[in-house]
Structure 1
Amino acid sequence: MSRLLPVLLCGLLLAGCAGAVSREAPTPLRLEPVAAPATYAEKLARLSVESPRIGAAVDPHDLLYSEEDFLRRPYARVRWGAPLGQQLGDLVVEQLTRSGLVGAIQQGGDPRLEIEVVEWLHDYRGEAPMARIALRSSLYRDERVVAQWRWSDRTVFTPAGPLPGLAAQQRLLETWLAELLAWLDGLPE
């Protein structure tokens, strides 16, 4: 019994320590609905909108930040409530529908709008935290790229952290959505 007592005490001690670890679920992040867009005359009777692709430097499930060159890390206590591409795609479809620019949105078909998230990052390498977004939009007809547009922007945010950074990215996203509609409207028939 005297040899078993230290083993039991050690087991109880370890079990007690394990209970102190936070098992809190991560906070789910989501992109907020944006204001109604400007209204346009119908330019396209129909448009296929593919779910946005996520580039290699972006994580579809975690919000990333960087404190060092070439090193990106996920925030510990937050995750996307739904994959970033899905949320972004829903916003694009909503804005296209509300703008009047497109008569009908469909999956598959022609013409086709593809969007790629090239960068979605909180950058802490400078004097102030910076929210960064870069997106590439491509319009296809008959399986050929007929127009392509790359957009990127950044803005400072305070205080540091995932939620203030996401709020800054949301403002950038609203600007991009308005410019995406204007870009599509400006394309030749």
Structure 2
Amino acid sequence: MPVLPSPSDQAERLIALGATGPLGPDVLRKEAAALPDRPGLLVVGGARPSDLAPLLRRAGRPGFVVEDMTDVDDFVPVVEVPDAPVWLLEDPDRGDDLANASPAEAQVVFDGGGRTPLLLTEGIQWVLQVPEVLERNRCFMTIGSRLRKPTGRLDARTPAVWISNGTGRDGRDRRDAPKVGWCWWNNRHTWLGFASAAHRTTAA
């Protein structure tokens, strides 16, 4: 995986992109500077996928959320995340080794310990920092985020970040653009891994 710059350098990139979420530039700089200065992804908590996705770029085209995912911001963490404005996501991995597993099967692997699946917002922020993480036929799901129905049950859709082929409702103008979409909980896809990390670390 590409090497990530320091948290402070990542903060400056997010500021330049207008991707600071609920934090202003000065607050983000301060919070990023307080994180451990070691490799990892700077994550802004509270950022909304619908705001972040259009900031993605690939092949000169902006990212987008699929038309039938108007509720993308309602997908919430189903894993433990820090109660902090920012955190460091350590050792992020695209999960290529889990390609062609279903989300249900990948969850069994994560339940075995050692890794935690990424949130959708974490996955998008990762691609914002290092766009080359997203490769054709090497994209990823982010099953740390799910949509909970009013009944309390989880929606069968699971979010993912991949590359549009410009077909169907995407439209030809979106071919090769970064795409936020979803797949079914029990379906397999050879080109989708399952992004995960070792830890989420906050300031001391």
Normalized against structure 2, the TM-score is what?
Answer: 0.23
Say which structure, 1 or 2, has more relative contact order (CA 8 Å, 6+ apart). 2
Higher share of residues assigned strand: 1
Higher alpha-carbon Rg: 1
